[in-house]
């Protein structure tokens, strides 16, 4: 039976037209009035410095670039057409490739993080209560340290004089003096390293709630461990898998620092493209169009995330 809480519905018919808020009778309207004073400043702030700038970006994505890089406010679809391969000399694959590459990197990172994160989540869930929080804190610490520094650290680790190169050279896998970056492997290693905590936390939350009776029942019915895992365990931790996947996919797709430092010019992602347009290319309208696409990817991801978590969207925090 639902016990009444502090709030009481604030619309009321008939004779008594007041509400009670934690023992305080309020005339109609007073409740909303106070809420406006409490929540107003922060909400106005976020609207002003987040939503309004984003609206500017959307508007700008339909504008044109002047010859000197200035903005010409004339409506056009050109930026989006360019983004999807419409060049002056027919189909130009550079921009569509960037989009495809970004999505590819996002999915690959999410997939790798899932593969690596699952056993870790199971391991943490199997620890005694005290050690669980220690393990979770350990997972979370790298996430809260500067991403730029961690990415730069991979430069050190993967440099020709670094230990990894030494080991691989000794093993005869690469010729001496080869740098392990820039390139795909370096980008992926850094991505997985940076976003693994995003995957482990929601996965752990799901694994922790797992009903092992179902799995045991499946085992009793003669299911092999693989089938048991697939049919009795995976469906239960699917929300965690999807939540983690979205949490990894979103920032990975929009990454700017990692491909910039470890990928080189040929491996530009959406983030780098945006930076380039707003920076050296001075084509803000086109940069805005790319940003809008990144935003749409975010909205789609969030929609999925909200659906699997039933609207209880929580950011992974320690």
Partner 1 sequence: MQPADPKSNSALAVECQHLTRRFGKIEALAGVSLNVRRGEFFSLLGPSGCGKTTLLRIIAGLDLPDSGGLRIGGIESLRLPAWKRPVNTVFQSYALFPHLSVSENIAFGLRMKRLSAIEITRRTTSVMELTQIMPLAARHPNELSGGQKQRVALARAIVNEPQVLLLDEPLGALDLKLRKELQLELHHLQQRLEMTFVHVTHDQDEAMTMSDRVAVMNAGRVEQLGTPEEIYERPKTRFVAEFIGECNLFEGKFISRDGSRLEADSPLGRLRIDLPSTAIELAEQGKLLLGIRPERISLVGGHAGDNRVLGRIEEITFNGAESRYRINLGKVGLRVTELNTGRRDVGLFVGDSVEVALAPGNIFLLEG
Partner 2 sequence: MIRRSPATALIALLVLVFLYAPLVVVIIYSFNTARYGAEWHGFTVDWYLRLIHNDPAIAATINTIELACTSTFFSVLLGSILAYGMSRYEFPFKRLFHHVLHVPVFIPDIVMAVALLLFFAVLRKWLAGFELGMTTMTLAHITFQIPFIAIVVRARMADCDPQLEEAAADLGAGPWLTFRHITFPLMVPGIVAGGLLAFTLSLDDFVVSFFTSGPGSTTLPILIYSSVKRGLTPDINAIASLIVIVSALTVVTVAWLRGRTEVKT
Binding to partner 1, residues 13-32 (CB under 8 A): 13-16, 18-20, 22-25
- Judged by CB under 8 A, the residue of 39, 72, 97, 173 near partner 2 is 39
User: In degrees, to the nearest 5, what angle opens at C-alpha 134 toward C-alphas 136 and 151?
Assistant: 50
Among residues 116, 174, 214, 223, which is the contact residue for partner 2, using CB under 8 A? 116
Residues whose CB falls within 8 Å of the CB of residue 197, separated by 6 or more in sequence, listed in order: 139, 140, 142, 143, 316
Contact 6, 21 (CB under 8 A): yes
Q: Indicate which of partner 2, partner 1, ligand ATP, none lies near residue 50 (CB less than 5 to 8 Å, by partner kind).
A: partner 2
Q: How far is the CB of 290 from partner 2 (least distance, A)?
A: 9
Return the one option of partner 2, partner 1, ligand ATP, none that residue 178 interacts with (CB less than 5 to 8 A, by type).
none
Looking at the DSSP bridge assignments, the partners of residue 24 are 21
Nearest to partner 2 of 88, 291 (CB atom): 291
Size of the site for partner 2 (CB under 8 A): 101
Joined together, the tokens standing for residue 31 give 């409740």
CB nearer to partner 1: give 9 or 171.
Answer: 9
Identify the CA nearest to 102 among candidates 279, 236, 291.
291
x-or-dash string of contact with partner 2, 151-190, rule CB under 8 A:
xxxxxxx-xxxx----------------------------
DSSP-assigned states of every residue in 182-250: SSHHHHHHHHHHHHHHHHHHHHHHHHHT--HHHHHHHHHTT--HHHHIIIIIHHHHHHHHHHHHHHHHH
CB of 12 to ligand ATP, least distance (A): 12
Binding-residue pattern over the window 241 to 270 for partner 2, x denoting contact by CB under 8 A: ---------xx-xxxxx---x--------x
Residues that bind partner 1 (CB under 8 A): 1, 3-4, 6, 8-9, 12-16, 18-20, 22-25
């Amino acid at each position: 039976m639902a016990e009444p809480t502090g709030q009481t519905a604030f619309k009321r018919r008939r004779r008594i037209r007041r509400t009670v808020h934690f023992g305080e009778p309020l005339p109609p309207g007073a409740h909303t009035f106070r809420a406006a004073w409490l929540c107003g400043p922060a909400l106005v702030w976020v609207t002003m410095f987040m939503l309004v700038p984003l609206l500017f970006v959307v508007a700008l994505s339909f504008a044109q670039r002047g010859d000197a890089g200035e903005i010409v406010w004339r409506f056009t679809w050109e930026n989006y057409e360019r983004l999807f391969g419409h060049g002056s000399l027919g189909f130009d694959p550079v921009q569509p490739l960037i989009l495809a590459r970004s999505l590819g990197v996002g999915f690959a990172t999410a997939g790798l993080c899932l593969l690596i994160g699952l056993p870790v989540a199971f391991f943490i869930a199997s620890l005694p209560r005290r050690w669980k929080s220690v393990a979770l804190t350990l997972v979370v610490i790298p996430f809260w340290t500067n991403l730029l520094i961690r990415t730069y650290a991979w430069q050190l680790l993967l440099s020709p004089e670094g230990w990894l190169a030494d080991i691989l050279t000794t093993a005869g896998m690469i010729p001496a003096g080869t740098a392990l970056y820039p390139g795909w492997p370096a980008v992926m290693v850094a991505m997985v390293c940076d976003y693994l905590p995003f995957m482990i936390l929601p996965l752990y939350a799901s694994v922790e709630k797992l009903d092992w009776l179902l799995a045991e029942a499946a085992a009793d019915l003669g299911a092999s461990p693989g089938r048991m895992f697939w049919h009795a365990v995976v469906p239960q931790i699917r929300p965690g898998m999807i939540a983690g996947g979205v949490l990894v996919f979103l920032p990975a797709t929009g990454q700017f620092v990692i491909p910039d430092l470890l990928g080189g010019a040929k491996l530009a992602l959406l983030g780098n493209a945006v930076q380039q347009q707003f920076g050296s290319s001075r084509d803000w309208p086109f940069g805005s169009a790319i940003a809008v696409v990144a935003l749409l990817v975010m909205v789609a991801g969030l929609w999925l995330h909200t659906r699997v978590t039933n609207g209880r969207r929580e950011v992974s925090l320690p």
